[in-house]
Amino acid sequence: MDDPTDEGYRGDLDGVANSQHGRALVQLCLGRVAEARATIATVLVASADLGERRSRAHFLDSAAMIALVEGDLDSAWRFLAEAAEAAAGMAEPLLLAGIALHRALAALSAGDIPAAQRDADLAAEQIARGGPGVSAGTLDTLAVTACVALAGGDVAGAAELAEQAAGTGFVLWERAAQRIAATASAARAAASPPDPCRYPALIYVDQPIPAND
């Protein structure tokens, strides 16, 4: 029988935690947000004592993302602070960019557009350190930066940023960009930006493209 203190057993727990983390992200993408929250909660409990800081930081960042989609800003800030603490000192540009982007979305939800812009800029700097080419991190940065622009009333800028994700081959991000562009178009017609609490779901939940009335 496996000994829970054995390193091999621990490695299996790492694999299970990473698998469940992926499951939570899929649930979120499908709009099954309550299930995603329950799954990530299980992951956080399971990974608390594993000692693998990089994975732990990713899990906490994803928990923050799910909390943002739910509109639970207090939990999002708490998870982000814990993720930043776990990631401190790491040379992990994509991880650090993700944390910064979710801080930007939290700041948007709180109505602090300047803070959101600072974190979006920080994320872009981290992505640039990761080297050339298009990655999910690149597209995530474009999407969040477009939402920051939209919140600040720069509808044309938001639409232009969203269009940059087109033709990249990242289908989910292309659909997110289409949702942001459609929201920008609706904001132009209404002469006002949407509720900032909508932005996380706009990016991370693969919902139908908003219709332009």
User: What is the CB neighbour count within 10 angstroms for residue 43?
Assistant: 26
Q: Please state, in angstroms and rounded to a whole number, the distance separating the CA atoms of residues 144 and 126.
A: 14
161 Cβ contact list (under 8 Å, min separation 6)? 142, 143, 145, 146, 149, 180
* Class at the top of the CATH hierarchy for domain 1-90: mainly alpha
Domain ranges of the chain: 1-90, 91-213
Q: What pTM value is reported for the model?
A: 0.87
pLDDT tens track for 1-39 = 444 444 444 556 677 888 899 999 999 999 999 999 999
For the chain, the average pLDDT equals 86
The per-residue pLDDT for range 136-166, each reduced to its tens digit, is 888 899 999 999 999 988 888 888 888 887 7
| pLDDT tens digits for range 92-101 | 889 999 999 9
